[in-house]
Amino acid sequence: MANVAVPTHEDDILIQELGYDDHFHEHHDEDKYQSGFIGKYIFSMDHKIIAKQFLITGMFWAIIGALMSLVFRLQLGFPEEDMAWLKPILGQWITVNADGIGALDPQFYYALVTMHGTILVFFVLTAGLSGTFSNLLIPLQLGARDMASPMLNMFSYWFFFLSGMIMFFSLFLSTGPFSGGWTAYPPLSALPQASTGSGAGMTLWTLSLVFFVVSVLLGGINYITTVLNLRTKGMSLWRMPLTIWAFFVTAILGLLSFPVLVSAFLLMMCDRGLGTSFYLSEIFIGGEALDHVGGSPVLYQHLFWFLGHPEVYIIILPAMGLVSEVLAVHARKPIFGYKAMVYSILAIGFLAFIVWAHHMFMSGVNPFISNFFVVFTLIIAVPSAVKVFNWITTLYGGNVRFTSACLFGIGFVSLFISGGLTGIFLGNSAIDIQMHDTYFVVAHFHIVMGIAAFFGMFAGIYNWFPKMYGRFMNETLGKIHFWGTMIGAYAIFWPMHYLGMAGVPRRYYRFDSFDTFSHFSTMNQFITVAAIIVFAIQVLFVINFFYSIWYGKKMTTRNPWGANTLEWTTPINAGHGNWPGNIPSVHRWSYDYGKDGKEFIPQHYPMQEGETEVH
Amino acid sequence: MNVAVNHPNSYRNKIHPKKFALWTACISISMMFAAFSSAYIVRMAQGNWLEFPLPNWFYVSTATIILSSLTLHGSYWAFKKMKTGLYRALMLMSFVLGCLFIYFQYLGYHEMTAMGAHLTANPSSSFIFVISWVHIAHLVGGLGVLIVAMLHAFMLEHKVTPARKLRFELTYTYWHFVDILWIYLLLFFILQQQS
Ligand code: HEM
Ligand SMILES: [Cu+2]
């Protein structure tokens, strides 16, 4: 790596001639800070390795979180069925009666729902998605050697790891993990004696999430600084791929909203441990009045949703960025309305901060104030619709290659439409009186956020797997994975709209004991069976992923998809520093597909005589 | 150690990436206090709010922390002008003043408790305790940074290199930030009491 041989690959020649000599290799003859196994793979500071660490840790959590959902789906679909067979795994949480029939402990049911939500929202779809792809793509697509601070970047991963360890440990407490819902509303969260999970379980939950926030902030500071300061020559903001725009705005959202969550938690910790009454007032437990007076539980909800709503965009924006890139590359067309895409990312980012109270229409917020939030909430539909229109227009008339990555991109658009539409219903406070806290909301956010973000992530994984591991994932398995998940996910969540419209409340342990809801038992069984099948299909994906790391089809060319972005100009197995010689300089935006009769013109190709920039 | 920062391209922008990163971190920290402030306002609007004057020691501590910012800036000036003795003395003084600030806050808490505005008396007093604690936590981080800066000042030969200048600038930026943060909080408390 030290003495760069005369380049033979045409990209290398171009980069050598037109690129940018940052004297990187003179200082780092032998990569001095990355030697040995531990430095290289464990406490690595290379953004590419850190990206893989985020991804694999995220996958671990996704499996745990999904398994939890299977357990509570079994309970909801088959409440009468014997669960004694789960006793070896769940132990005391399965109570076996005199007839030998095992039942899931109701307390543990709530713990499972809570952990499922927390894990999926924070560990999988925040860290696993934005952590993975921001790390992988920001330096590579901007032409940087690494993040602004590789060290902080490493800490970002390890704080996430620590946070995960604490949460994992809380699963094994004898009183169980926290069980008051992923939103942790007081009083269940603020009074250790409120329920079994509210004691040690809640303490660990809070601790874990505080470390998680540290991780997000360290990562975010780095992403923002890198985007603004370390772009290569010629990479103006308006030439950045949409992936980078999305990661950039995501990081800003995180930086502004996660600290608010910490503030909310600190007040909560004082209520729990020091006897203050920020969130608690006039509470009786076991017939006994507590000392807490003067607090306001709605105060917590304001603080929580001030993070909570931006958080859902922190989850979906990276997926949108990945999908924009994947669709353009595989449709072989420039993204339609690049600037409109950027402006709608910015608009969504801004609006995300002024709609939080749409989660609180039923919490006793003044209806006049609700009106403002209704209006702003509905306005979000505008930039969202712009994006959807542009994705469809990008596909329209394209020479679409239906690879697994592309299919997941298209699936994302479908899901985002279905789930976004139900958001418009919920955003009207009058309709929300009926819909709030029903399965309609569950259907809404699983489709628009849960599944859609997973699809964005899958699109990203199938597309950038060769960049990460130098091999391809199996396409046939990928397509089975796509169709199974696409059909299966709709099978799970579509019926929930009907349940919700009929008033079936979310977070209930069983419905068969209510006459009003008992006729839905077949529908609940159907949903549970669909969930089991979809889970099995994800196992296929995990197998494909790990099998392909070692045995997948080898990558023989650097740029297998014929993409324009810079990450495909590095050697197949790039070392720390990404480019062996100079770093490429950039001469055009990243969407010159089908221009002047050429299928694609990468960003590091100079403008030809007489050629004009597209936008 | 820091690959990308050595990237000459980074100097395209006038501000050094590390400084930029520090500013972003400060914005993020400010959001925590913005959240506290708005929680304070929202809660106050709901009534059942105990009124009491701010402890006098808070004004003393405010003067102390402002002074410490001035001495730290003086130390930076002396550092650049190669006045080694002054550089070291003023830096030490800033550190001591920082510690004194915490002590004066502590005396302020006693004053509040004596007035009956103790930690759990009413959310109005609880807020002041908790918000100022979180501020102290950030100040302790600043003291840690000052300890490192003092080690440099006392152990290393006095040389003005770009790297050491940068490190000093990062140090005082954060220290001024914690200072201004407290001034903001004090003004906030005063204004809320008047309204
Ligand atoms: C057109 C845009 C959208 C509108 C108008 C909208 C509106 C709403 C409303 C009003 C609620 C509250 C329902 C209730 O609790 O009664 C809600 C819940 C939710 N939305 Fe959306 N939404 C939109 C898009 C999204 C997107 C893009 C995401 C995520 C990527 C998302 C994630 C969620 C989540 C997670 C919840 C439920 C949180 C909980 O209570 O546990 N929404 N949405
Ligand atoms: Cu929302």
Contact in structure between A184 and A264 (CB atoms under 8 Å): no
Task: Report the complex ipTM.
Answer: 0.91
Percent of the residues in chain A that have a pLDDT greater than 90, as a whole number? 79
φ, ψ (nearest 5 deg) of residue A239: -105, 0
In Å, how far is A138's CA from the nearest CA of chain B? 13
Under DSSP, the state recorded for A85 is: G
**Could you give the CA distance from residue B39 to residue A424 in angstroms, rounded to a whole number?**
29
A290 contacts chain B (CB < 8 A): no
Lowest-confidence region among A82-96, A255-269, A481-495: A82-96
In tens, the pLDDT along A366-413 reads 888 899 999 999 999 999 999 999 999 999 988 999 999 999 999 999
In tens, the pLDDT along A223-277 reads 999 999 999 999 999 999 999 999 999 999 999 999 999 999 999 999 999 989 9
Lowest-confidence region among A281-295, A474-488, A525-539: A281-295
pLDDT value at position A16?
Answer: 80
pLDDT value at position A26?
Answer: 59
B45 contacts chain A (CB < 8 A): no
Superfamily of domain B17-41+55-194 in CATH is Cytochrome c oxidase, subunit III, four-helix bundle (1.20.120.80)
In Å, how far is A19's CA from the nearest CA of chain B? 12
Lowest-confidence region among A202-216, A374-388, A577-591, B133-147: A577-591
**Could you give the CA distance from residue A504 to residue A516 in angstroms, rounded to a whole number?**
9
B34 contacts chain A (CB < 8 A): yes
Contact in structure between A141 and A244 (CB atoms under 8 Å): yes
Chain-chain contact of A255 with B24 (C-beta, under 8 angstroms): yes
10 Å CB burial of residue A431 (0-12, 13-18, 19+) is: middle
A311 contacts chain B (CB < 8 A): no
Chain-chain contact of A259 with B7 (C-beta, under 8 angstroms): no
* Chain A residue whose CA is closest to B36: A263
Whether pLDDT at A37 is above 80: no
B32 contacts chain A (CB < 8 A): yes
- Indicate the angle between helix axes A132-142 and A242-273, nearest 10 degrees: 140
**Could you give the CA distance from residue A487 to residue A470 in angstroms, rounded to a whole number?**
31
Q: Ligand 1 pocket test: which of A129, A413, A440, A444 has the largest number of ligand atoms within 8 Å of its C-beta?
A: A444
Whether pLDDT at A141 is above 80: yes
Domain count of chain A? 1
pLDDT band at A5 (very low <50, low <70, confident <90, very high): low
**Could you give the CA distance from residue A113 to residue A178 in angstroms, rounded to a whole number?**
10
What is the pTM assigned to this prediction?
A: 0.93
A-chain CB neighbours of B19 within 8 Å are none
Among the partner residues B33, B34, B126, nearest to A278 by beta-carbon distance: B126
In tens, the pLDDT along A43-66 reads 888 999 999 999 999 999 999 999
Chain-chain contact of A28 with B3 (C-beta, under 8 angstroms): yes
* Chain A residue whose CA is closest to B22: A221
Contact partners, residue B155, CB within 8 Å, separation at least 6:
none
In tens, the pLDDT along A158-185 reads 999 999 999 999 999 999 999 999 999 9
- The ranges of chain B with pLDDT < 50 are 1-11
Chain-chain contact of A267 with B130 (C-beta, under 8 angstroms): yes
B-chain CB neighbours of A152 within 8 Å are 21
Provide the sign of the torsion angle of the four alpha carbons B81, B83, B88, B94, taken in this order.
Answer: negative
**Tokens representing A433?**
């009186």
B46 contacts chain A (CB < 8 A): yes
The 3-class secondary structure across A455-488, one letter per residue, is HHHHHHHHHHHHHHHCECCCHHHHHHHHHHHHHH
In Å, how far is B136's CA from the nearest CA of chain A? 14
Q: Please tell me the total number of residues recorded for chain B in this structure.
A: 195
Chain-chain contact of A22 with B7 (C-beta, under 8 angstroms): yes
Name the β-bridge partners of A104: A94
Closest CA to A536 of A67, A12, A148: A67
Residue A391 or A292, more confident:
A391
B137 contacts chain A (CB < 8 A): no
Which atom of ligand 1 lies closest to the CA of A359?
12
DSSP track, B5-35: GG-GGGGGSSS-HHHHHHHHHHHHHHHHHHH
φ, ψ (nearest 5 deg) of residue A602: -60, 160
* A563 assigned to some structural domain: yes
Which atom of ligand 1 lies closest to the CA of A435?
16
* A29 assigned to some structural domain: no
How many Cα atoms within 13 Å fall on the side-chain side of residue A242?
Answer: 30
Cis check for the bond before A318: say yes or no (omega within 30 of 0): no
- Cβ count near A329 (within 10 Å): 27
Output the domain CATH number for residue A390: 1.20.210.10
A255 contacts chain B (CB < 8 A): yes
Closest CA to A242 of A336, A148, A128: A336
* Chain B residue whose CA is closest to A253: B28
Residues with CB under 6 A from ligand 1: A 183, 312, 315-316, 358-359, 377, 380-381, 384, 420, 423-424, 426-427, 432, 435-436, 441, 444-445, 448-449
Residue A519 CA, ligand 2 centroid: distance in Å: 31
Contact in structure between A439 and A503 (CB atoms under 8 Å): no
Contact in structure between A173 and A86 (CB atoms under 8 Å): no
Range of the domain at A486: 41-103+126-281+290-597
Whether pLDDT at A31 is above 70: no
Chain-chain contact of A260 with B25 (C-beta, under 8 angstroms): no
Give, in order, the Cα–Cα distances in Å from B59 to each of A345, B54, B179, B181: 45, 9, 13, 14
Which atom of ligand 1 lies closest to the CA of A427?
10
φ, ψ (nearest 5 deg) of residue A612: -115, 150
Chain-chain contact of B36 with A151 (C-beta, under 8 angstroms): no
Among the partner residues A147, A233, A295, nearest to B9 by beta-carbon distance: A233
Among the partner residues B18, B20, B36, nearest to A228 by beta-carbon distance: B20
Whether pLDDT at A289 is above 90: no
**Could you give the CA distance from residue B118 to residue B124 in angstroms, rounded to a whole number?**
10
A-chain CB neighbours of B10 within 8 Å are 148, 229-230
* A12 assigned to some structural domain: no
In Å, how far is B121's CA from the nearest CA of chain A? 8
